[in-house]
Structure 1
Amino acid sequence: MIAEDFGLKGARGWAFRHVRVDAAPGTVVVIEGPSGSGRTCLLLALTGRMRPTEGRAEIAGLPLPRAMSAVRRISGLGHVPGVSDLDPALTVAEHLRERALLQRQFGGSPRALPRPRARRAAEARDRIDTALTAAGLDTAALPKGERTSVRDLERLEALRLSVALALIGRPRLLAVDDLDLKLSDADRAEAWRLLRSVAEDGTTVLAVCGQAPEDADTVIRTDENGEPDAVEPDTVEPQTVIRTNEEGAADALAETGRA
């Protein structure tokens, strides 16, 4: 992941600007800052779901904004409120089957469509099982197994399900918003261990949070006023520090669109 002078402007100002990132594949990139500081806009722009106003970025060699659709195909969204919310009325199994079906119809090779039904079902089940294992979600431990409704999941279990659904598509970039929202300290530590394990398997992870963990590979810090960071760059290496602007963030989301 590379970004140079990356920025997005809304009607009331810049959601973020002058973003510079250089992160190797298979690393954890954290966007840290308070809610409303433009951090979700930055996450969506780096995954090809919002069009930047200035600068450039590359995700797995694909240039932004020129190749936004291609970046969307290789990036997966875990929990991103308002964009990839789980349906509380559906069960875990229904979410998994739906995602596997969408992946087969729109994310796979057209040559796979004529394959025998039994083979397609087996391949889908293998994708699901692999994703569940990578996300650390043991469905057998849920109250009703895979028939458990999303509304009955604990916060950490719901996060693991969101990550598993994204991993069904075998993305090269996984993005998760509000990672530490409503999590206990113990669950927050588990969530970071989950994302670290995903990164260790070769997938770049982009996560938004209020406070970054000490072992994050790259940290992009945001604040409410967009003023330059007072910390000397040498004191935060190998982290990258930028600022984004709260005032323009809401307008950027409304103007640019999330998909």
Structure 2
Amino acid sequence: MEIVATGVEVAGARGQLLAPTSLRARSGRLLLVAGDPNSGRTALALALSGRLRPTRGEVRLDGTADPSALRRAVAVVDAPQITEPEGALPVRDVVAEGLSLAGRRSGRRAVRAWLQARELPATERFENLAGLARTRLLVDLAVESRAVRALVLDCPDRHGGDPAGWYELAARQAARGLAVVALCSPHSADRLGVFPARIGADNPEPSTSDTAEGLR
């Protein structure tokens, strides 16, 4: 599978939300994309998943501009105020909703088994989970859907901690064959020692070191 964004730009009521950005994401690869706060990281995540129509440019899935196909195939993980779970919810409720959306069994027994397998607390408020545990939970829920073939992680570094943790989670999903895009700050990319694609740029093809095989 291949997702190609060409000159994708998003304008809002008060000005530009996302400067023209071009990039390519492929199955089995993890693409790191860096941008400063307010550079349009969430707008890019939504455009790549067919959930936001670009003002200019286009996003194609396997050569076809089909937003509905993108929405089925691409899961946006933890987009602030959009796919981000309500912080006050207990973890079990977040899991039940995620399993239901993925078309999986979401009754009490199924939720309890899912949580026990991951050693997660059922009654803890979601907002009290550590950043890495939060990201792992949401990634695991996203891939429960059989239709999902790509993930876009929306700024997992905003929760703090060592970026190597969520980067490894993303790399594992790429190694499973998914196309994975991880949006982050330039500082996080520097800490990871990874040369990222840039928001607001016409990004070249990822190098071979960006493939799942090249990830440490």
> C-alpha separation between the residues in 1 aligned to 2:95 and 2:25?
31
Aligned to 2:150: 173
* Bigger fraction of residues in strand: 2
Please state whether the residue corresponding to 2:122 is helix, strand or coil: helix
Give the TM-score taking structure 2 as reference length: 0.76
| CA deviation vs aligned residue, 1:222-246 (integer Å, no higher than 9, x gap) | 3xxx6x79xxx89x9639xxxxxxx
In the alignment, which of 165, 188, 200 is matched to residue 190 of structure 1? 165
Aligned to 1:10: 12
Say whether residues 1:201 and 2:176 are aligned partners: yes
Please state whether the residue corresponding to 1:165 is helix, strand or coil: helix
Q: Is the 8 A contact 1:32 1:220 kept in 2?
A: yes
> C-alpha separation between the residues in 1 aligned to 2:34 and 2:183?
6
- Where structure 1 has 5 or more consecutive residues not aligned to the other structure, the ranges are 109-119, 240-259
| CA deviation vs aligned residue, 1:156-189 (integer Å, no higher than 9, x gap) | 211211212212224111111122113223xx21
In the alignment, which of 33, 36, 51 is matched to residue 34 of structure 1? 36
Q: Is the 8 A contact 1:78 1:165 kept in 2?
A: no
Q: Residues 24 and 85 from structure 1, CA distance in 2 versus in 1: closer, same or farther, beyond 3 angstroms? A: closer
Aligned AA for 1:238? S
Please state whether the residue corresponding to 1:100 is helix, strand or coil: helix
Please state whether the residue corresponding to 1:3 is helix, strand or coil: strand
Q: Residues 189 and 183 from structure 1, CA distance in 2 versus in 1: closer, same or farther, beyond 3 angstroms? A: same
- Where structure 2 has 5 or more consecutive residues not aligned to the other structure, the ranges are 209-216
Deviation at 1:58, TM superposition (A): 1.4
> C-alpha separation between the residues in 2 aligned to 1:53 and 1:178?
23
Q: Is the 8 A contact 2:61 2:69 kept in 1?
A: no
Q: Is the 8 A contact 1:26 1:199 kept in 2?
A: yes
Mapping 1:37-56, distance limit 5 Å: 37-56=39-58
Q: Residues 88 and 138 from structure 1, CA distance in 2 versus in 1: closer, same or farther, beyond 3 angstroms? A: farther
Deviation at 1:80, TM superposition (A): 0.9
Q: Percent identity?
A: 30
Aligned AA for 1:203? L
Aligned AA for 2:82? V
Which protein is bigger by CA-based radius of gyration?
1
Mapping 1:75-224, distance limit 5 Å: 75-104=74-103, 125=110, 129=114, 139-140=118-119, 142=120, 145-170=121-146, 171-185=148-162, 188-211=163-186, 212=189, 213-215=192-194, 219-222=196-199
Q: Is the 8 A contact 1:46 1:59 kept in 2?
A: no
| CA deviation vs aligned residue, 1:101-122 (integer Å, no higher than 9, x gap) | 2333xxx8xxxxxxxxxxx679
Q: Residues 30 and 92 from structure 1, CA distance in 2 versus in 1: closer, same or farther, beyond 3 angstroms? A: same
Q: Is the 8 A contact 2:35 2:41 kept in 1?
A: yes
Q: Is the 8 A contact 1:179 1:191 kept in 2?
A: yes
